[in-house]
């Protein structure tokens, strides 16, 4: 989970109040935000794009600029050191991007702490700008068909505000946008955008040139085509996969044909937002409307929340199929049944009480005859179902104040038969003085077959994306793990007697998921004087304890490289192979550096009759 | 009442009873015909029983020293020299004397000092001249000579005994003065044993001796002779040899304890395959198909087998629609396209919640309580706190009357049964539960709250497509973490790459 740094001074500025030390963390935990700790961060301004990026080591500039991706340790002129800031480190709660910046978090806390209730009101005027959407964006050359946009006026952007706006954009990309796939946000200085009719269209990959953010507009070489941006610009390379396979690039242009951005990759340099910016245009592109609307609402209300007196204007989004107006900050109306809520949470509430709790969570809510009418604010992206509001009610009430309710579900429990079998085998082997070991169920072909000499019957479950060469498959035998354990304990006094009871897995076409587990007991006996007879005696004892009729047991010689020739056997019960045992070949022992004789055995417990 | 004693003890008591007052240990031994050491041991034991008193006395014993033993024929060399002088007419040249006396030159040389001090001879140049005491014949033995002679003939003796015999011991020792090695004295401790009042009473009641044996043998048992013997008591405070026993793995005991807790509470145990379809691992749990947890980064996908079968078409359809637009659940859904192709991909199960959801689908009818303990797989690089395989416990309660408050109470009970006293609940987010909660326990060793697991009420988007219309409480918890706290492990690998020493050392009771 990514960590979010919330600057404490900014948070308290928007909260309008300072909390005593410790109280803020407690309240955030009660609210459901996980505080990881505190940090002192350095702030650095990028000389190329002007963006401010934080650095965990206050004296050292960060590797990559949040705005343009430039390496701030290498740039010339050097990055500007803006001093340090104390930040609260929180885990990003992906479903609540509205809490990702100080204004948004303060808005929620003002409700939770009882300073305000219900939803704040923001001013949204009808604007006369529009975006014309090219139907070609719906494919097949490129798939990025949807766009929403807003303008926000009379904003006040200082350094800190600019930086946290940039950060918010990045985090919303991650949380709501699934790394820009579902939603990609662009913010522009409205002064440099010619209105009123913008165009969102698909262009050939080499058809248009513009200077991407962070490149020098005076450099004639800096104007790049979409194809070149995907190759050369740091952000282009980072997000090229989102346009993989596209033959045309999405492009947002102003009324004069000036390029604003190439979603979802990069904005152009000349519409960059600075501390002088007083009016912004915001667009969000994506695959479907809910995600991009929520992203737009979160960014727009964050700006409105942080600049008293600011207001938003709508744009007309013109699709072939019809016209929409955004931003739409109208709340979502949900009817919540207080009886159901009380029953599910386990606290007896009236409709009034439920409504009051919801207002603490910044919903507008009022109790009606048989339900609570809830107006969910437009920036809440996580309310999919009335159930989500029940959680808000529970959080507002406080998890720490939930009544003790004894669970009255009367049922008869019982263990899995397989567990009984495993327990019996463990008792039988521990009773013979063996220590139980537990080894990893993940292993490799090398460790399973090559090292032990167990024949590869090509029936193992193979991983598609192993993380290391040592774990490429699910184990098919306990012997390699037992041998590894002996190899780890060369300095321990001998004799060593160890066992494991666990699952091995084989590919099985008849199984629903294509593979099946088998319960196996295995053991290894090591020490001078140990041999086949010891393993045989121990295995016979195990078979006895598993209730196997000795008359049905046969031992047949088996020659595999794991065993010394003539000292390995297959155990059969009623003619069916159920296990192996034998003296480990010195060549195998050498691979594990074991210098004492070892006898091993393993038994498929569920293959035994009656088990 | 007749008291029984070991034979040596009985002998000591009898010997003491037969005489007045104290007896030395060696006297008792002599009288009883025993060696001194068993008698001494018997005395120690009788003293412990309070039946005898032991008084120790130390006395000086005199015996010949190495030089004294070397005197020719037991005579002092100066007497031998003086006698020879006399026979030679009162004068002799020094170099001639060894030949005349049979002494070595060295002994002759040493004797000069004592010849002089006794006045028996004096040296004039190289000539030795006999002194007056010898003019009228050989003088009597002097005190020191008499002592040496006595010790040579009679062996070592106590100083007081020698004095009693009339020997002028003090004078002899004074004469010997600094003449080392002729006589040695050493201190002899003697123990005198006497009966105490309790001992006299006990002896008056009769003393019976019993044989003492060390080991109980089959012979003793079969013959019944064990009744007639005493068994030598052992020093029960001595350490025994170390035994290492076969036993279950410490982590197994945590897994078993966890299972026991749920079985005690009436839960039914279930399982699910390690190779699982993405459908049951993710989709049925309303985990969106583009959720980061489903990435190749975090989840092990399986190359062989290549496909998993999906359940009944109707169910797959309902789950898919719930993802896309909420289906019939009243939810908005994730508003992204749902791909059944992705649902059929096999993965290594990433959580035991897959077992819970399968159990719910198999029988959604309340009331049911179900749990699963087993390994899960995450694409983690092995280090001191991560493994690609670890264990979880997962559980669900399907009940019309189940509530979130009831879930918290249940979790409280579980964690208390697992040995945690202070528990804290914090709001959390999981894609498949709402409301959701994270459980923290107070860890005294860290003075902090530590996250132990997640829980919640399954979302309607999870339960309703499976045909379940009542609340389902659900929770999951990683068990290695619990084991690390319980056994104070700083490295999770210790569990799976185990040192046998650790397995032997962790007490069975500590789980």
Nearest-CA distance B346 → chain A (Å): 7
Q: Which residues of A touch B461 (CB under 8 A)?
A: 384-385
Compare all CA atoms of chain B with the CA of A505 and give the residue at the minimum distance: B274
**Joined tokens for residue B177:** 């003065």
Q: What is the mean pLDDT of residues A327-352?
A: 96
Radius of gyration of chain B (CA): 50
Compare all CA atoms of chain A with the CA of B296 and give the residue at the minimum distance: A465
Instruction: Determine phi and psi for A177, rounding to 5 degrees.
Output: -90, -5
Give the closest of A30, A345, A412 to B266, CB-based.
A412
Q: Measure the CA–CA gap between A3 and A80, rounded to whole angstroms.
A: 24
Q: Which of A391, A407, A502, A515 to mutate to test the interface with B (most CBs of B within 10 A)?
A: A407
Residue B434 in domain: yes
Q: Measure the CA–CA gap between A422 and A419, rounded to whole angstroms.
A: 5
The pLDDT score that the predictor gives to residue B411 is 94
Residue B473 in domain: yes
Mean pLDDT of chain B: 90
Pairing of strands B91-93, A364-367: unpaired
CB spacing of B252 vs A431 below 8 angstroms: no
Which residue has better confidence, B443 or A49? Answer: B443
CB spacing of B275 vs A345 below 8 angstroms: no
Whether the pLDDT of residue B62 is over 50: the answer is yes
Residue B196 in domain: no
CB spacing of A405 vs B397 below 8 angstroms: no
CATH number at residue B423: 3.30.930.10
HSE (CB half, 13 Å, CA atoms) of B221? Answer: 4
Compare all CA atoms of chain A with the CA of B397 and give the residue at the minimum distance: A409
The pLDDT score that the predictor gives to residue B99 is 82
pLDDT tens for each residue of A560-596:
999 999 999 999 999 999 999 999 999 999 999 999 9
Strand partners, A41: A85
Compare all CA atoms of chain A with the CA of B456 and give the residue at the minimum distance: A391
Whether the pLDDT of residue B1 is over 60: the answer is no
The pLDDT score that the predictor gives to residue B228 is 85
Q: Which residues of A touch B274 (CB under 8 A)?
A: 441, 461, 474, 503, 505, 515, 517
Q: How far is CA A111 from the centre of its chain?
A: 28
CB spacing of B499 vs A484 below 8 angstroms: no
Q: What is the mean pLDDT of residues A2-25?
A: 89
Pairing of strands B229-231, B211-213: parallel
Percent of chain B exceeding pLDDT 90 equals 45
Residue B160 in domain: no
The pLDDT score that the predictor gives to residue A335 is 96
Give the closest of A391, A438, A507 to B496, CB-based.
A438
Which span out of A7-11, B223-227, B392-396 was modeled with the highest average pLDDT? B392-396
Check residue A511 and report its DSSP letter.
S
The backbone region for A341, taken as left when phi is positive above 0, alpha when psi lies in -120 to 50, beta otherwise, is alpha
Mean pLDDT of chain A: 93
How many Cβ atoms from other residues are within 10 Å of residue A181's Cβ?
A: 18
Smallest Cα–Cα separation from B255: which of A547, A426, A433? A426
CB spacing of B434 vs A387 below 8 angstroms: yes
Give B37-77 as a 3 state SS string.
HHHHHHHHHHHHCCCEEEEEEEEEEEEECHHHHCCHHHCCH
Compare all CA atoms of chain B with the CA of A287 and give the residue at the minimum distance: B336
pLDDT tens for each residue of A363-398:
999 999 999 999 999 999 999 999 999 999 999 999
Smallest Cα–Cα separation from A398: which of A363, A360, A371? A360
Classified as helix, coil or strand, B290 is coil
Nearest-CA distance A243 → chain B (Å): 17
Whether the pLDDT of residue B508 is over 50: the answer is yes
Which residue has better confidence, A39 or A148? Answer: A148
Q: What is the mean pLDDT of residues B445-449?
A: 86
Count Cβ neighbours within 10 Å for each residue of B37-57 and write b for 16 or more, e otherwise.
ebbbebbebbbeeebbbeeee
Nearest-CA distance A467 → chain B (Å): 6
Compare all CA atoms of chain A with the CA of B388 and give the residue at the minimum distance: A442
Whether the pLDDT of residue A50 is over 80: the answer is no
The pLDDT score that the predictor gives to residue A51 is 76
Compare all CA atoms of chain B with the CA of A291 and give the residue at the minimum distance: B335
Give the closest of A32, A290, A402 to B335, CB-based.
A290
Nearest-CA distance A58 → chain B (Å): 28
Q: Is cis: bond before A495, omega within 30 of 0?
A: yes
CB spacing of A399 vs B498 below 8 angstroms: no
Q: What is the mean pLDDT of residues A410-438?
A: 96
CB spacing of A515 vs B412 below 8 angstroms: no
Instruction: Please state the length of chain B.
Output: 511
Q: Which helix (H) or strand (E) holds B318?
A: helix B313-325
Q: What is the mean pLDDT of residues A422-448?
A: 97
Tally the domains of chain B.
1
How many Cβ atoms from other residues are within 10 Å of residue A191's Cβ?
A: 12
Nearest-CA distance A267 → chain B (Å): 25
pLDDT tens for each residue of A100-115:
999 999 999 999 999 9
Point out the least confidently predicted range of A7-21, A250-264, B190-204. B190-204
CB spacing of B503 vs A436 below 8 angstroms: yes
Q: B3: pLDDT confidence band, cut at 50, 70 and 90?
A: low
Cβ-contact A4, A89 below 8 angstroms: yes
DSSP secondary structure letters along A60-101 = S--SS-TTT---TTT-SSPPEEEEEEEEEEEE--TT-GGGSS
Domains, chain A, with CATH or none: 3-112 (3.30.56.10), 124-326 (3.50.40.10), 332-400 (3.30.56.10), 417-607 (3.30.930.10)
CB spacing of A406 vs B409 below 8 angstroms: yes
pLDDT tens for each residue of B329-343:
999 999 889 999 999
Nearest-CA distance A505 → chain B (Å): 8
Point out the least confidently predicted range of A155-164, A280-289, A330-339. A155-164
Residue B246 in domain: no
Smallest Cα–Cα separation from A452: which of A582, A569, A585? A585
Residue B85 in domain: no
Give the closest of A413, A497, A503 to B266, CB-based.
A413
Whether the pLDDT of residue B358 is over 80: the answer is yes
Q: B347: pLDDT confidence band, cut at 50, 70 and 90?
A: very high
pLDDT tens for each residue of A244-301:
888 999 999 999 999 999 999 999 888 889 889 999 999 999 998 999 999 999 999 9
Nearest-CA distance B486 → chain A (Å): 17
Percent of chain A exceeding pLDDT 90 equals 77
CB spacing of A432 vs B387 below 8 angstroms: no
The pLDDT score that the predictor gives to residue B445 is 83
Exposed (0-12), middle (13-18) or buried (19+): which is B392, by Cβ within 10 Å? Answer: buried
Whether the pLDDT of residue B2 is over 60: the answer is no
CB pairs under 8 A between A and B: 280
Which residue has better confidence, A515 or B186? Answer: A515
Nearest-CA distance A523 → chain B (Å): 12
Nearest-CA distance B182 → chain A (Å): 59
Point out the least confidently predicted range of A196-205, A340-349, B71-80, B297-306. B71-80
Whether the pLDDT of residue A526 is over 90: the answer is yes
Give the closest of B249, B408, B409 to A437, CB-based.
B249
Cβ-contact A314, A127 below 8 angstroms: yes
- The domain in which residue B384 lies consists of 252-502
The pLDDT score that the predictor gives to residue A103 is 94
Cβ-contact B423, B411 below 8 angstroms: yes
SS3 content of chain A, % helix, strand, coil (to 5): 30, 30, 40
The pLDDT score that the predictor gives to residue B423 is 94
Alpha helices, H only, B224-303: 250-264, 278-281
CB spacing of B274 vs A413 below 8 angstroms: no
Give A266-315 as a 3 state SS string.
EEEHHHCCCCCCCEEEEEEEECCHHHHHHHHHHHHHHHHHHCCCCEEEEE
Residue B1 in domain: no
Compare all CA atoms of chain B with the CA of A498 and give the residue at the minimum distance: B246
Q: What is the mean pLDDT of residues B103-121?
A: 86
Cβ-contact B501, B363 below 8 angstroms: no
Residue B268 in domain: yes
Whether the pLDDT of residue B258 is over 60: the answer is yes
Strand partners, A133: A200
CB spacing of A433 vs B245 below 8 angstroms: yes
Q: Which of A30, A376, A513 to mutate to test the interface with B (most CBs of B within 10 A)?
A: A513
Whether the pLDDT of residue A57 is over 90: the answer is no
Give the closest of B290, B397, B424 to A181, CB-based.
B290
Q: What is the pTM of this model?
A: 0.79
Q: Which residues of A touch B292 (CB under 8 A)?
A: 178
Check residue B272 and report its DSSP letter.
-
Compare all CA atoms of chain B with the CA of A431 and give the residue at the minimum distance: B246
Q: Which of A108, A335, A387 to mutate to test the interface with B (most CBs of B within 10 A)?
A: A387
The pLDDT score that the predictor gives to residue B511 is 65
ipTM of the complex: 0.89
CB spacing of A436 vs B247 below 8 angstroms: yes
pLDDT tens for each residue of A66-79:
777 788 888 888 88
Strand partners, A35: A90
């Amino acid at each position: 989970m990514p960590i979010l740094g919330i600057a404490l001074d900014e948070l308290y500025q928007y909260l309008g109040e300072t909390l005593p030390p410790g109280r803020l963390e407690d309240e955030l935990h009660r609210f459901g935000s996980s505080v990881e700790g505190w940090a002192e961060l350095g702030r650095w301004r990028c000389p190329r794009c002007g963006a401010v990026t934080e650095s965990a080591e206050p004296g050292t500039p960060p590797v990559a600029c949040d705005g343009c991706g430039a390496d701030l340790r290498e740039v010339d002129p050097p990055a500007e050191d803006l001093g340090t800031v104390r930040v609260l480190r929180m885990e990003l709660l992906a479903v609540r991007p509205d809490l990702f910046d100080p204004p948004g978090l303060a808005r929620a806390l003002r409700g939770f702490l009882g300073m305000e209730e219900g939803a704040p009101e923001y001013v949204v005027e009808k604007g006369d700008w529009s975006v014309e959407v090219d139907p070609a964006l719906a494919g097949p050359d490129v798939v990025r068909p949807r766009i929403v946009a807003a303008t926000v006026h009379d904003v006040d952007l200082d350094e800190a505000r600019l930086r946290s706006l940039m950060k918010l954009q990045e985090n919303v990309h991650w949380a709501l946008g699934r790394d820009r796939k579902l939603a990609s946000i662009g913010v522009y200085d409205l002064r440099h955008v010619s209105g009123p009719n913008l165009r969102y269209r698909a262009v050939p990959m080499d058809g248009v040139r513009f200077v991407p953010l962070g490149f020098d507009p005076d450099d004639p070489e800096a104007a790049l085509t979409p194809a070149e941006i995907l190759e050369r610009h740091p952000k282009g390379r980072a997000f090229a996969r989102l346009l993989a396979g596209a033959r045309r690039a999405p492009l947002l242009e102003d009324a004069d044909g000036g390029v604003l951005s190439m979603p979802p990759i990069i904005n152009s340099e000349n519409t960059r937002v600075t501390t002088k910016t007083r009016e912004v245009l915001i667009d969000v592109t994506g695959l479907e409307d809910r995600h991009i609307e929520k992203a737009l609402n979160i960014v727009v209300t964050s700006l409105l929340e942080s600049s008293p007196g600011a207001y938003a204007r709508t744009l007309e989004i013109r699709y072939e199929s019809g016209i929409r107006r955004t931003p739409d900050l109208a709340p979502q109306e949900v009817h919540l049944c207080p009886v159901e809520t009380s029953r599910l949470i386990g606290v007896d509430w009236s409709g009034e009480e439920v409504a009051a709790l919801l207002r603490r969570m910044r919903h507008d809510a009022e109790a009606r005859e048989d339900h609570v009418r809830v107006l969910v604010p437009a920036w809440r992206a996580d309310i999919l179902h009335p159930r989500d509001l029940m959680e808000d009610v529970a959080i507002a009430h406080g998890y720490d104040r939930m009544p003790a309710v004894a669970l009255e579900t009367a049922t008869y429990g019982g263990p899995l038969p397989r567990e009984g079998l495993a327990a019996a085998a463990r008792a039988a082997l521990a009773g013979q003085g063996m220590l139980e070991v537990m080894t990893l169920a993940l292993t490799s072909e090398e460790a399973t077959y090559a090292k032990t000499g167990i024949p590869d019957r090509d029936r193992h479950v193979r991983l598609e994306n192993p993380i290391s060469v040592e774990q490429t498959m699910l184990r098919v035998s306990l012997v390699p793990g037992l041998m590894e354990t002996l190899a780890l304990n060369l300095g321990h006094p001998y004799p060593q007697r160890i066992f494991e009871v666990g699952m091995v897995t084989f590919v099985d076409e008849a199984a629903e998921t294509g593979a099946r587990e088998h319960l196996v007991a295995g053991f290894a006996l090591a020490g001078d004087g140990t041999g086949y007879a010891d393993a045989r005696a121990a295995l016979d004892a195990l078979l006895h304890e598993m209730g196997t009729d000795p008359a049905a047991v046969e031992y047949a010689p088996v020659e595999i490289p794991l065993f010394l020739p003539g000292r390995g056997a297959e155990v059969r019960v009623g003619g069916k192979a159920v296990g192996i045992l034998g003296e480990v070949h010195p060549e195998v022992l050498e691979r594990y550096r074991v210098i004492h004789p070892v006898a091993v055995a393993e038994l498929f417990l569920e293959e035994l009759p009656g088990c | 009442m007749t008291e029984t004693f070991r034979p040596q003890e009985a002998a000591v008591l009898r010997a003491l009873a037969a005489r007045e007052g104290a007896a030395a240990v060696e006297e008792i031994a002599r009288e009883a015909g025993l060696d001194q050491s068993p008698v001494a041991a018997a005395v120690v034991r009788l003293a412990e029983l309070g039946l005898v008193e032991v008084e120790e006395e130390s006395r000086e014993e005199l015996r010949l020293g190495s030089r004294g033993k070397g005197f020719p024929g037991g005579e002092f060399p100066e007497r031998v020299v003086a006698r020879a002088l006399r026979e030679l007419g009162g004068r002799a040249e020094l170099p001639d004397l060894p030949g005349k006396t049979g002494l070595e030159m060295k002994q002759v040389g040493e004797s000069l000092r004592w010849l002089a001090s006794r006045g028996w001879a004096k040296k004039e140049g190289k000539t030795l001249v006999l002194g007056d005491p010898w003019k009228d014949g050989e003088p009597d033995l002097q005190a020191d000579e008499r002592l040496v002679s006595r010790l040579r003939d009679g062996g070592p003796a106590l100083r007081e005994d020698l004095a009693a015999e009339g020997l002028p011991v003090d004078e002899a020792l004074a004469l010997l003065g600094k003449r080392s090695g002729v006589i040695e004295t050493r201190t002899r401790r003697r123990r005198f044993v006497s009966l105490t009042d309790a001992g006299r009473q006990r002896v008056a009641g009769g003393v019976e001796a019993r044989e003492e044996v060390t080991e109980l043998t089959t012979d003793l048992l079969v013959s019944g002779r064990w009744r007639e013997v005493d068994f030598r008591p052992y020093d029960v405070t001595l350490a025994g040899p170390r035994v290492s026993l076969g036993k279950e793995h410490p982590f197994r005991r945590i897994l078993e304890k966890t299972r026991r807790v749920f079985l005690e509470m009436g839960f039914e145990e279930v399982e699910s395959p390690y190779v699982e379809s993405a459908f049951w691992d993710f989709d049925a749990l309303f985990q969106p198909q583009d959720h980061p947890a489903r990435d190749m980064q975090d989840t092990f996908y399986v190359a062989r087998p290549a496909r998993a079968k999906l359940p009944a078409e109707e169910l797959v359809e309902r789950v898919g629609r719930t993802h896309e637009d909420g289906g019939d659940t009243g939810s908005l859904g994730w508003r992204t396209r749902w791909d059944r192709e992705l649902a059929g991909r096999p993965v290594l199960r990433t959580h035991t919640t897959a077992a819970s959801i399968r159990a719910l689908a198999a029988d959604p009818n309340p009331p049911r309580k179900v749990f699963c303990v087993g390994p899960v797989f995450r694409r983690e690089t092995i280090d001191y706190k991560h493994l690609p395989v670890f264990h979880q416990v997962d559980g669900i309660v399907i009940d019309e009357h189940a509530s979130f408050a009831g879930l918290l109470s249940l979790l409280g009970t579980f964690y208390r049964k697992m040995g945690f006293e202070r528990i804290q609940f914090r709001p959390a987010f999981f894609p498949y539960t709402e409301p959701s909660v994270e459980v923290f326990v107070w860890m005294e060793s860290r003075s902090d709250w530590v996250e132990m697991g997640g829980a919640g009420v399954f979302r309607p988007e999870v339960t309703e497509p499976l045909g379940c219309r009542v609340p389902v409480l659900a929770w999951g918890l990683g068990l290695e973490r619990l084991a690390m706290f319980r056994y104070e492990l700083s490295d999770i690998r210790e569990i799976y790459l185990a040192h046998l020493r650790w397995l032997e050392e962790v007490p069975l009771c500590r789980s």
